[in-house]
């Protein structure tokens, strides 16, 4: 075990050294992009946007639905729009690529406005354009949600879903899930699961609500500084900086300004709930963990042959380790959907986990 993770730590050191020298080499470029990317977008990309009025009227509840259908509009896009409408939202569709004529016609039937743009700034770049478009309408709205097509929507009419939670919640800032509140154990700690200390801190600088599903109350929408946040956000084509400036930046802004916040599925409640489950159920969740390649996969593989011999608390610590490194929506997809009526499947999860893919194909895809 130690030899395995000593090797992993060596790889981590090499990776960090590479990252350090990479930052030195590219820091002038990063500095230039920080100060000038918004200007570049304004003068070279913004004017290429295509704006089209849809067939629907605008209501007091708007859903900004960001899509990136680079291979054409999918059935899931159309059915997702239908679901948003059924939940009482007026869709404003942002496409981060330019659409074929037939796709525009199909979308227009299901939105009050469509904006086609270049994929500059990823989802937060698209969200930003939508909120700038809505500038004068924001104070009059009752609810605003931001949704992107990195997920499939699951409609659970009999049990309620995230959209129902947003509609009934008194929170100002609402996510579906969050990430970064669990303090990550080191790979040295995971060599002995009994030594893992579970720590939860929403003041952690990396804590954020995931951008695939975000909701805002009437109170926050009336705050002019909410619009200013979006207007001033620095656009980037570097994904980790999109997370830093977008998801983390927005979450820190809401917390700093004392807005109430929370998510439909709270990470700390998941961890606490593990203690109420049987050991057999915890083993089932462990076997169904979705993990990408890398050091965390090495840990999962190492424990896979001995996990039945672990104590209940060791299994919980094993799960805590993985959840702290992957968001709930990735790592616990199977458990969230089958046991907790979760509203979303991350499309990436289908590539990570064949069991989820099979479940999706058999039980869900026909409804999307």
User: 221-228: long-range contacts (C-beta < 8 A, 24 or more apart)?
Assistant: 221/138, 221/139, 221/141, 221/144, 222/138, 222/139, 223/257, 225/257, 226/138, 227/131, 227/135, 227/138
Clarify whether residues 51 and 31 are in a common domain. no
CA distance 18 to 14: 6
pTM, entire model: 0.88
Torsion of CA 262, 227, 134, 220, to 10 degrees: 40
Clarify whether residues 125 and 252 are in a common domain. yes
Clarify whether residues 85 and 110 are in a common domain. yes
Clarify whether residues 65 and 170 are in a common domain. yes
CA distance 196 to 209: 25
Number of Cβ within a 10 Å radius of residue 62? 26
Please say which residue of 215, 246, 263 terminates a domain: 263
pLDDT tens digits, the chain, 368 residues: what are they? 444 554 455 566 666 665 555 555 555 556 656 555 677 777 667 778 999 999 999 999 999 999 999 999 999 999 999 999 999 999 999 999 999 999 999 999 999 999 999 998 989 999 999 999 999 999 999 999 999 999 998 766 666 899 999 999 999 999 999 999 999 998 888 889 998 999 999 989 999 999 999 999 999 999 999 999 999 998 887 778 888 899 999 999 999 999 999 999 999 999 999 999 999 999 999 998 887 667 777 888 888 889 999 999 999 999 999 999 888 888 898 899 889 989 898 888 777 666 666 766 665 555 44
Residue 189 lies in a domain: no
Residue 40 lies in a domain: no
Strand partners, 182: 200
Clarify whether residues 283 and 208 are in a common domain. no
Residue 198 lies in a domain: no
Asked if 245 and 234 count as a contact pair (C-beta separation under 8 A), the reply is yes
Residue 224 lies in a domain: yes
Please say which residue of 263, 280, 298 terminates a domain: 263
CA distance 77 to 68: 10
Clarify whether residues 102 and 230 are in a common domain. yes
Residue 15 lies in a domain: yes
Domain that holds residue 223: 47-178+204-263
Query: Which tokens in the block code for residue 162?
Result: 């995230």
Clarify whether residues 70 and 139 are in a common domain. yes
CA distance 226 to 134: 12
Please say which residue of 212, 228, 263 terminates a domain: 263
Clarify whether residues 17 and 162 are in a common domain. no
* Number of domains, the chain: 3
Residue 255 lies in a domain: yes
CA distance 118 to 125: 9
Residue 188 lies in a domain: no
């Amino acid at each position: 075990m130690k030899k395995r993770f000593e090797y992993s730590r060596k790889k981590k050191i090499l990776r960090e050294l590479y990252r350090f020298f990479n930052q030195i080499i590219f820091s002038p470029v990063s500095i230039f992009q920080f100060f000038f990317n918004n200007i570049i977008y304004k003068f070279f990309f913004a004017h290429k946007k295509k704006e089209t009025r849809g067939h629907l009227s605008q209501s007091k509840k708007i859903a900004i639905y960001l899509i990136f259908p680079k291979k054409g509009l999918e059935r899931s896009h159309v059915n997702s729009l239908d679901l948003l409408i059924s939940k009482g939202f007026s869709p404003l569709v942002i496409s981060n690529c330019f659409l074929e004529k037939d796709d525009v016609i199909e979308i227009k039937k299901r939105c009050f406005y469509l904006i086609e743009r270049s994929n500059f700034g990823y989802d937060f770049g698209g969200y930003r354009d939508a909120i700038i478009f809505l500038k004068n309408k924001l104070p009059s709205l009752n609810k605003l949600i931001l949704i992107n097509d990195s997920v499939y929507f699951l409609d659970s009419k009999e049990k309620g879903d995230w959209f129902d939670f947003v509609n009934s919640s008194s929170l100002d800032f609402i996510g579906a899930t969050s990430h970064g509140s669990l303090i990550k154990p080191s790979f040295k700690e995971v060599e002995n699961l009994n030594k893992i200390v579970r720590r939860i801190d929403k003041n952690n600088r990396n804590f954020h609500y995931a951008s695939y599903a975000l909701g805002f109350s009437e109170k926050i929408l009336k705050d002019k500084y909410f619009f200013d946040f979006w207007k001033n956000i620095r656009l980037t084509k570097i994904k980790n900086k999109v997370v830093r400036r977008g998801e983390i930046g927005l979450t820190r802004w809401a917390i700093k300004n004392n807005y109430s916040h929370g998510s439909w599925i709270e990470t700390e409640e998941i961890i606490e709930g593990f203690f109420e489950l049987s050991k057999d159920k915890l083993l089932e969740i462990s076997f169904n963990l979705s993990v990408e390649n890398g050091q965390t996969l090495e840990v999962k593989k190492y424990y896979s042959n001995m996990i039945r011999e672990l104590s209940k608390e060791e299994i919980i610590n094993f799960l805590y380790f993985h959840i702290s490194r992957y968001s709930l929506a990735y790592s616990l997809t199977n458990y969230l959907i089958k046991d907790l009526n979760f509203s979303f499947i991350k499309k990436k999860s289908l590539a990570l986990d064949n069991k989820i893919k099979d479940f999706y194909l058999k039980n869900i895809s026909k409804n999307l």
